[in-house]
Amino acid sequence: MTVRRLLPHASTIFSEVSQLATRHGAVNLGQGFPDTDGPPAMLEAAARAMREGHNQYPPGQGMPELRLAVADHVAHHTGLVHDPDTEVLVTVGATEAIAGAVVGLVEPDDEVVVIEPYYDSYAATVAMAGATRRSARLVRDGASFRLDVDSLRAAFSPRTRAVLVNTPHNPTGAVLPPEDLEAVAALCHEFDAIAISDEVYEHLTFDGHEHVSIATLPGMRERTVRISSAAKMLNCTGWKIGWMTGPEELVSGARAAKQYMSYAAGTPLQLGVAHALRHDGAWIEQLRATMQAQRDQLVGILSGVGLDLAVTHGTYFLAADPRPLGVTDAAAWCRELPAEVGVAAVPFAGFVDDFAGDFAHLARFAFCKSPAVLEEAGRRLQALAG
Ligand code: PMP
Ligand code: GLN
């Protein structure tokens, strides 16, 4: 009985793959969640908040402590200054920030540009808003992926209200260079569109690659909703604490939608995250180093069994091409892997629509797992090497 506009999005690729992984006792390198906890002081701050009676609704826009900590964190890392009362909104993960921005800022007769492959919630939220999705794409550029600027230009039109941008990029692991973001910004100016910028992996960049927020480009602060989350920054994907920053007129539109999605959530968790943003900068830096080492470990494993890999400069993910093993349909391969090899991965097919053919041969493996778990995955994957 699902409504027509949500039928194509009836179940997420992550829950499908995780269910398969559970059924077959597979090592789950599909859904991206870490297997270790966030900073101990953050856990203690949240537990203390619970014990001290912070257990009722927070204010709809988020606990003041967290809004202030987010404003300071964003200012420290990007130089962008925001009023914590009107220009910061705490959300139920980045997922709700994306949905709030799309539903609260896009009219049903507007178009929203997305860049394939994209995080799966983007298309679903555009459908919820009743708007029209227009796709551009990334293309393989040497070892990594870049924006296909011609495809982006073709996707923009006078009806474009927003473009959804994600860097560091899930699922390719690309960190988009400033020139790509400049191309997006130029089209936003030309067509008077806004950018909804998903930066949940902002601190997970490797090998000296720097994350640049599109909101920092000339003239873009006024037309960008910048979204981040504690999930990937602080190893707490189950807490679902995210946020957005931007000019008041954009944040207030998103807030109008968000207050009827969840109203608000996670009072003590918000206080835990506020504590971590203030005090756990060194922990976040260490996480980056840990993830880089785990990336290297998984690169060794996957290339060792013959997969062709793109270079990951950020995020939790490696884009793997199994064609050297004779596999061309990565979706079918990912359905078989949990039962046949005991490892789960996510096909790029879950992140594409119009450009499905460009990415049908790719699968995403997550390396946000402890070295022993990756080692076990490596032992099982030996079966592929024959
Ligand atoms: N955007 C991207 C690119 C993601 O990978 C994820 C998953 N962390 C989200 C948004 C959703 O984030 P959250 O879990 O905070 O809702
Ligand atoms: N963001 C995570 C990923 O890309 C999972 C999110 C989810 O399960 N919805 O794997």
Helix ranges restricted to H, the chain: 13-23, 40-51, 64-78, 93-105, 121-128, 149-155, 178-191, 230-233, 248-261, 267-279, 281-304, 330-340, 356-359, 371-385
Mean per-residue pLDDT, 285-314: 97
**Higher-pLDDT residue of 73, 10:** 73
Compute, in angstroms, the gap from residue 22 CA to the centroid of ligand 1.
Answer: 22
Q: What is the pLDDT confidence band of residue 78, given thresholds at 50, 70 and 90? A: very high
Q: Is the CB of 12 under 6 A from ligand 2?
A: yes
Q: What is the average pLDDT score of the chain?
A: 97
For 57-69, b/e burial (b = at least 16 CB within 10 A) is ebeebbbbbbbbb
Atom of ligand 1 nearest to the CA of 230: 15
Compute, in angstroms, the gap from residue 12 CA to the centroid of ligand 2.
Answer: 9
386 has a pLDDT exceeding 80? no
CA angle 197, 245, 103 (to 5 degrees): 65
Ligand with minimal distance to 265 CA: 1
d(CA 158, CA 109): 11
Ligand with minimal distance to 169 CA: 1
Identify the residues whose C-beta falls under 6 Å from ligand 1.
93-95, 119, 166, 170, 198, 200, 229, 231-232, 237, 240, 242
Which contiguous run of DSSP H or E holds residue 140?
A: strand 132-141
CA-CA distances (angstroms) from residue 378 to 8, 143, 301, 374? Answer: 34, 23, 5, 6
Q: Is the CB of 32 under 6 A from ligand 2?
A: yes
Atom of ligand 1 nearest to the CA of 237: 14
Compute, in angstroms, the gap from residue 30 CA to the centroid of ligand 2.
Answer: 9
Mean per-residue pLDDT, 184-203: 98
Q: What is the pLDDT confidence band of residue 14, given thresholds at 50, 70 and 90? A: confident
Tell me which residue has tokens 């494993």: 301
Compute, in angstroms, the gap from residue 31 CA to the centroid of ligand 2.
Answer: 5
Q: Is the CB of 14 under 6 A from ligand 2?
A: yes
Pocket test residue of 119, 165, 270, 351 for ligand 1, highest count of atoms within 8 A of CB: 119
Q: Is the CB of 228 under 6 A from ligand 2?
A: no
In DSSP terms, 164 is beta-bridged to 196
Atom of ligand 1 nearest to the CA of 169: 3
DSSP character at residue 57: P
Compute, in angstroms, the gap from residue 385 CA to the centroid of ligand 2.
Answer: 28
Atom of ligand 2 nearest to the CA of 30: 10
* Ligand 2, atom 4: closest residue by C-alpha: 32
Sequence length of the chain is 386
CB 341 within 8 A of CB 386: no
Tell me which residue has tokens 């070892």: 143
Q: Kindly state the percentage of the chain with pLDDT values over 90.
A: 97
Q: Per residue in 310-347, pLDDT tens? A: 999 999 999 999 999 999 999 999 999 999 999 999 99
Q: Around Cβ 55, how many Cβ atoms within 10 Å?
A: 10
d(CA 61, CA 92): 11
| Cis? peptide before 117, omega within 30° of 0 | yes
Atom of ligand 2 nearest to the CA of 31: 10
Compute, in angstroms, the gap from residue 32 CA to the centroid of ligand 2.
Answer: 5
Compute, in angstroms, the gap from residue 284 CA to the centroid of ligand 1.
Answer: 17
**Residue 102 confidence (pLDDT):** 98
Atom of ligand 1 nearest to the CA of 95: 16
**Residue 10 confidence (pLDDT):** 85
Q: Per residue in 88-123, pLDDT tens? A: 999 999 999 999 999 999 999 999 999 999 999 999
Q: What is the identity of the amino acid at 260?
A: Y
Q: Is the CB of 170 under 6 A from ligand 2?
A: yes
User: Is the entire prediction scored with pTM above 0.85?
Assistant: yes
Compute, in angstroms, the gap from residue 338 CA to the centroid of ligand 2.
Answer: 18
Q: Is the CB of 292 under 6 A from ligand 2?
A: no
**Residue 300 confidence (pLDDT):** 98
